[in-house]
Structures are given as structure tokens and as C-alpha cells.
Amino acid sequence: MKLGDQTEHSATVDLFNTVFEQEAMGMALRAIDPRDSRWLRVNQKFCDMLGYTREELLQLTSVDISLPDERDLSTEYNEQLLRGELSSYSREKRYLRKDGTAIWTNIWLSAVPDPDGNPTQIISVIQDITEQKLAEETLREARNNLEQKVKERTSELRESEERQRIILDSALDAIITMDASGIVIGFNPAAEKIFGFQSEEACGQELAEIIIPKSLRQKHRAGFRRYLETGKHNILEQRIEINSIRANGEEFPVELTITPYTVEGHQFFTGFLRDITERKQTELELRTAKEVAESANSAKSEFLSSMSHELRTPMNAILGFAEMLHINSSEPLSEKQKSFVDHILKGGRHLMTLIDDVLELGKIEAGKLSVDFDYISVDKIIDDSLELIQSRAREEGIEILNKIPRDKLPLLWTDGTRLTQALLNILSNAVKYNRKYGTVTLSCEETPEQMLRINVADTGMGITEEKQRDLFKSFERLGHETGDIEGTGIGLTITKQLVEVLGGEIGYQSEVDKGSTFWIDVPISHEQAPTIKETRASKKTTRKAEPKARDDAARTILYIEDNPDNRQLMTSIIAQLENMTLVTADNAELGHDLARSNNPDLILMDLNLPGMNGFEALKRLQYTTQSQDIPVIAITAAALPKDIEKVLKAGFKDYITKPFNVGTCIRVIEETLDDIEISD
């Protein structure tokens, strides 16, 4: 080689060496012989890529640092270079780093010929593209995810549209959509059925023109414009009832809800309309039925009131005259006749009990039972009830044991009169259906439900299981229909309903041949008030002071009664009293005149008078100077405690219930006259 050629060659070699070592990408040189794939030379950049030192890498072959699935491909390309079929090629290739991880590279391979032009070596330029591949993979995954989401969202939209279509098509309510111009753009099948338009007919028309009656269109349009201009509205997103119109012009009621919404800046409105024609008809029928029921209840109440008077008035004559026969000392009856009269009195009193129970049950069922809740003492309830049942218990030889303590008992929140009535019914049964010389035991206990349980235990025959099912049914006497024990069969029915009206419960336990225990659970007052209202049982206070002796002057009694039999009976009763004169009147107007002219000492007044009733007549007497101080005793067929309370509150001095007991009648008259003498 010439000197000039040597110099040029040396410069070329130096330049190659410089480029090889300083290249920013990895470079490597190895033999082209596939049997010897060791590296002949590698630059530092390539070593850094793979994590080897130069000495370590030169001991390895290209196969050692290639992934198994890429080795055959590398061999194939190298053979093509060896055969001269390729002078160079490039491809992406993965190398194994020293730490076992793989990197992505882009390699360019060229054959290096000898002076004769035969390829003897391969020079490689290696670019690390791992980050690029990772970015591409991330981008590809993102693109795939995006495509998947687009597919899913598209599918969801299709499903949503299909669901919406199914809902719209299958909805029973009309669903109508309109735009901001009031033009219909949606009209579901239910709307077609309700209004009589096909969707194709309705869409494109103004809503007001097709379903809103003419009388309401102007108001609809004005409200629609106001909302679009100001956002103010009266009916949006509210359920309202208005009249609508069908295609045939028929007006009918609908329930309407309108919902506004915006899509891409455009305003739309969807209305949900339900045909409520049938509901309105049902409401009308129910309202009519309610009015009929209320009218029937009112008629029933009037009937009960009338029946109470009509039944008690003749019974008053029957029992009154029977009593007069029984006590008439001037014309005494024989023992046989007395026996007959006793039967009349017993049967009549039983009949009155039946009448009272039936009328009371009727009043409860008619919803006319009045209750007056207040703080009530348990002691007072027990004392009132026992006082009313003791005489009956003594007659039957029954001992009543009161084991209810008289202190530390909570106040009840109840109606004292109604509770006494209920407890008295239970006590009456415990006495009636007991054994001879048996016992009735009262006790009480507080329950976890804030109730006071009042127990009434008897030593009777008990109730069989098959008969317990009918215990609270009306007119069920559980096998005692033909026995000697009198009863109506509705006492427990009334008691149960009374207790439930008071917010309590009634229950029982019974064992055949051992007896029964009935209990009433009564609400305990949450506030234990210091002031306790007295119960208003139907008993009256017994006089304990002896009255002053009457003078010998005759007393005048005015009796205002429209029934002649009752006037005759009262005449017979007053005839039993000394120095008594009876004046009678058959109506309130005449009675008022007689009171002014005769100035009687006492007035007995029937409450159920023709024309002016007893309450109205009392007011007139109280407003008249000549009669305002005359005491007036009410004669009433209304025997319930609430009725008596009303009588006393009205200003009557006392009361006598029909049919009245002759002895009671005389006692009340005498006590009232004695009070006059004492006050005088």
C-alpha cells in the first residue's frame, strides 16, 4: 500500500473508531459466520443498554442476549447477508439485559466486506426504543379501551333507546313531549289510546290545540310564555288534576305532571298524563256512599233515641203500676197475686236490661259513643263499680275480695264513666256465672306497655275451648240461653268495644270447673297530674244528714208529661205522700203557664216533650222571674251516665230515669223538697 493510501486508511480507521465509541446509539461488530456469533467489538452505549461491562459482553454471543422466539429470525437474516442476498437490513428486536428484563431496540445491520468484496463481518447500530414501545403500548391500550368504551356506550345508548321505546310503548300513562314552541314531538301508544290521535297525527301540532280544552288554552299559552321568559311557573314538576279533551271533543279529567329538561341548549317538556275518569267516578260513588252511610247513621241515632223513649215510656207504666200494686197497703194483694206481680217486675226489669244493652250497642256501632278522656284515679273506678255490684253479690251469696292496693297506683288516662261501665259488666258476669258462695277477686298490675291491667277472677264453671270462640259475639250466651241466669248475650260485646274505644284491650283465661279471669288493660297517663277528675258514674250521693221536719203546709208539685199513663202513675205515687198536691200539664207551654200561675214547690219534667223539649222548657223557666228559683227534676228515658251528666249540666236539680222505681222516685222528690227546707 502506498504511503498516501496508508495515511488515508489510517484516518478512516481513526474516524471509524471515534464514531464507534462516541455514537449516541449502541454499536457492535461481530463475525458474519453463523457458527461464530461472538461479539468482536461493542461500544460503551451498547454495554450500558444491556447492563454489562464491555469484558462481560464480549464473552457472550448475540444468541445469548436474544429472546428465544427471535433467535431463528436473526440467523435467517444473517445467512442472507452471508450469501450476499442482502447488504443491510433493519428491524425491531428485543434483547435480554443482564438483570433478566427485556428491552426493545431498533437495529440496523450491514455487512462489512473484505478487500475482495466478500462480507466477513456485521456491524450493528442499536437504538433503545423501549420507552417508545411502552408509549405505543400505552397508546394502543388506551385506544383499545376507548374503542371498547365507545362500543359499550353505543350499546348502552342503543339499549337505553330500546328500553325507553319499550317503556314509552308499554306505559299505561300518556307520555307526551313538546319543544320550546309547544309543538308535540313525542306521543306514545298510551297517549294514542287515551286521546284518540295517532302519533303521526299529533306530532308536529301545537299541544294546546289537540288535548287542551278551548276554555283553558289561553291560560296554558300565557303560562308557557311566562316560564320561557322568566322561569316562573305554577305547575311544573307538580301533580295536578285538570280537564283534557279527546279527539272526539269529549272532556275528561286527567292527572298531569310536566317535567322540563334541556338537551344541548334546547328546552323540552315531557308531560305524564293519566286518565282518572274511573277514579273520579269511584270517588263520587264513595262520597255518595259516605253521605248515605252518614245519613243512615243519623237516622239510626234518631231511631235509637226515639226507641229509647218509646220503649221506656210503656215500660214505665208497666213497672210503675206493678210496683204500686206491690206496695199498696190500703188494698193489699194476696200472696199469689204478689207472686204474679213479682214475676211482672222481674220480667220487666230483665226486658229493660235487654233494651239498654241493645241501645248501647247500637250507639257504639253507629259511631255516636262520646268519650271524655281525663286523669282518672283507679280507686274511684273500683269504689264506684263495687258499690254498684255489692247488693247483687250479697243476693247471690258471692264474696268480693278487693286486693287492689289503695296507694301508689298510677293515674289513668281514660273516660272514668265508660271504664266503670266496662268493669261493671265484667263484675256482673263474674257474679252471675259464679258458683253458689263463690268468690270474685279484684287485682291489678302494670304491664310493660304502659297499661294498668285490672283483673277480675271468679270461681265459676269456666268456659270450654269451643265456646271461647264466640265469647265476644253479640247475642251469644254460650249455652245459658235456657238456664235460670238472665242475660242479653251482648254485655261482653259492649265491654270489648268500650275498652277498645278507650285505647285499651280486654282478655281472659278460663279453665273448666275452676273459673275464669277477665282483665282490662287501661292506658296509664304519661303525666301524673295532681288534680284528679271525679268519675261520673250513674250513682248519686246518699244523704246522711236528717232533714228538718216539714211543716204541715201542703206542697205543690207540677208534673209536665205528655203520656197520660205516666201522668196517672205519678198521680198514684204522689198520693202516697202526705200534704202533696200534684198538678199536671201535657206540654211544655202549658207547664210554663202553670208554673207562673201556681208557683209550685217542685217541677217534674219529661225531657222528650212534643214541640218544646225539656231542655228548652227549662231555659224558659230559668228566664222567667216567677219560676227561675223553682227546682226542676228531669224525667228521662236516657239512662246512660253521659246522658245524666248532660241533664245535670243543663241545670236540672236531679233526675229520675224511666222506667222509674217507685221507691227511688219518692226518695228523689223528698230529698229535693228537704233541700228546699234546709236552704230556707
What number is the average pLDDT over the span 561-583?
A: 86
Is residue 549's pLDDT more than 50?
no
| Residue 3: per-residue pLDDT | 52
Q: How confident is the model at residue 2 (pLDDT cuts 50, 70, 90)?
A: low
Burial 560-585 (b: 16+ CB within 10 A, else e): bbbbeebbebbebbbeeeeebebbbb
Q: How confident is the model at residue 310 (pLDDT cuts 50, 70, 90)?
A: low
What number is the average pLDDT over the span 95-100?
A: 91
Determine contact, residues 257/272, Cβ cutoff 8 Å.
yes
Report how far residue 90's alpha carbon sits from residue 105's, in angstroms, rounded to the nearest whole number.
Answer: 10
Q: What are phi and psi of 285, to 5 degrees?
A: -65, -40
Q: How confident is the model at residue 122 (pLDDT cuts 50, 70, 90)?
A: confident
Q: What is the pTM of this model?
A: 0.41
DSSP, collapsed to helix, strand or coil, labels residue 460 as coil
| Residue 415: per-residue pLDDT | 87
> Using alpha carbons only, how large is the chain's radius of gyration in Å?
55
Write the CA distances from 12 to 5, 7, 16, 17, 259, integer angstroms.
Answer: 10, 9, 6, 9, 85
| Residue 53: per-residue pLDDT | 92
In the DSSP assignment, the letter for residue 248 is T
Q: List the one residue out of 234, 140, 246 whose CA is nearest residue 192.
A: 246
Query: Which has more confidence, 194 or 84?
Result: 194
**3-state SS of 551-616?**
CCCCEEEEEECCCHHHHHHHHHHHCCCCCEEEEEECCHHHHHHHHHHHCCCEEEEECCCCCCCHHH
Determine contact, residues 41/47, Cβ cutoff 8 Å.
no
Q: What are phi and psi of 586, to 5 degrees?
A: -100, 5
In total, the chain counts a number of residues equal to: 680
> Which residues does residue 262 pair with via DSSP β-bridges, in sequence order?
267
Q: What are phi and psi of 598, to 5 degrees?
A: -100, -15
| Residue 6: per-residue pLDDT | 58
| Residue 544: per-residue pLDDT | 32
Q: How confident is the model at residue 67 (pLDDT cuts 50, 70, 90)?
A: confident
Determine contact, residues 323/345, Cβ cutoff 8 Å.
yes
Q: How confident is the model at residue 558 (pLDDT cuts 50, 70, 90)?
A: very high
> Which residues does residue 29 pair with via DSSP β-bridges, in sequence order?
41, 123
What contacts 574, CB < 8 A, 6 or more positions away?
Answer: 557, 559, 580, 581, 582, 669
Residue 134 host element (H or E): helix 130-170
Determine contact, residues 524/410, Cβ cutoff 8 Å.
yes
Average pLDDT over the chain, rounded to whole? Answer: 80
Q: List the one residue out of 189, 222, 196, 194 whose CA is nearest residue 208.
A: 222
Is residue 482's pLDDT more than 60?
no
Domain 3-128's class? alpha beta
Report how far residue 393's alpha carbon sits from residue 340's, in angstroms, rounded to the nearest whole number.
Answer: 25
What number is the average pLDDT over the span 124-153?
A: 86
Cell of 403: 286486693
| Residue 543: per-residue pLDDT | 33
DSSP, collapsed to helix, strand or coil, labels residue 187 as strand
What number is the average pLDDT over the span 272-280?
A: 88
Amino acid identity for residue 600 in this structure: P
Q: Quick one: fold of 374-523? A: Heat Shock Protein 90 (3.30.565)
Domain positions in the chain are 3-128, 171-275, 287-344+358-364, 374-523, 555-679
Cell of 164: 325507553
The torsion region of residue 388 among left (phi > 0), alpha (psi -120 to 50) and beta comes to alpha
Place of cell 359499550: 152
What contacts 625, CB < 8 A, 6 or more positions away?
Answer: none
By DSSP bridging, strand 515-523 and strand 505-511 are antiparallel
Amino acid identity for residue 408 in this structure: K
Place of cell 273500683: 382
Could you report how far apart the first and last alpha carbons of the chain are, in Å? 172
Determine contact, residues 583/594, Cβ cutoff 8 Å.
yes
| Residue 637: per-residue pLDDT | 76
Is residue 324's pLDDT more than 70?
yes
CATH architecture of the domain with range 555-679: 3-Layer(aba) Sandwich (3.40)
Determine contact, residues 587/562, Cβ cutoff 8 Å.
yes
- Judged by average pLDDT, the poorest of 166-175, 303-312, 443-452, 665-674 is 303-312
Segment 343-355, tens digit of pLDDT: 787 777 667 766 6
Is residue 527's pLDDT more than 90?
no
Amino acid identity for residue 170 in this structure: S
Q: Quick one: fold of 171-275? A: Beta-Lactamase (3.30.450)
Report how far residue 526's alpha carbon sits from residue 538's, in angstroms, rounded to the nearest whole number.
Answer: 28
Query: Which has more confidence, 398 or 80?
Result: 398
% of the chain residues with pLDDT over 90: 14
Segment 169-225, tens digit of pLDDT: 667 788 889 898 889 988 888 888 889 999 898 899 998 888 889 988 888 888 888
Report how far residue 404's alpha carbon sits from residue 415's, in angstroms, rounded to the nearest whole number.
Answer: 20
| Residue 536: per-residue pLDDT | 38
| Residue 547: per-residue pLDDT | 35
Q: How confident is the model at residue 69 (pLDDT cuts 50, 70, 90)?
A: confident
Is residue 7's pLDDT more than 90?
no
Query: Which has more confidence, 382 or 336?
Result: 382
Segment 441-459, tens digit of pLDDT: 999 999 998 899 999 999 9
> Which residues does residue 42 pair with via DSSP β-bridges, in sequence order?
28
In the DSSP assignment, the letter for residue 524 is B
| Residue 170: per-residue pLDDT | 65
Per DSSP, the chain holds a count of helices (H) and strands (E) of: 20, 22
Q: How many CA atoms lie less than 13 Å away from 647 in the CB half-sphere?
A: 27
Same fold, 3-128 and 171-275: yes
What number is the average pLDDT over the span 96-110?
A: 90
Residue 124 host element (H or E): strand 119-128
| Residue 548: per-residue pLDDT | 34
Q: How confident is the model at residue 161 (pLDDT cuts 50, 70, 90)?
A: low
Is residue 485's pLDDT more than 90?
no
Segment 594-647, tens digit of pLDDT: 888 888 999 999 988 888 898 999 999 988 888 888 999 998 877 666 778 888
Q: How confident is the model at residue 484 (pLDDT cuts 50, 70, 90)?
A: low
Determine contact, residues 315/350, Cβ cutoff 8 Å.
no
Lay out the sheet containing 119-128: strands in order across. 39-42, 26-31, 119-128, 102-113, 88-96
| Residue 98: per-residue pLDDT | 92
Is residue 479's pLDDT more than 60?
no
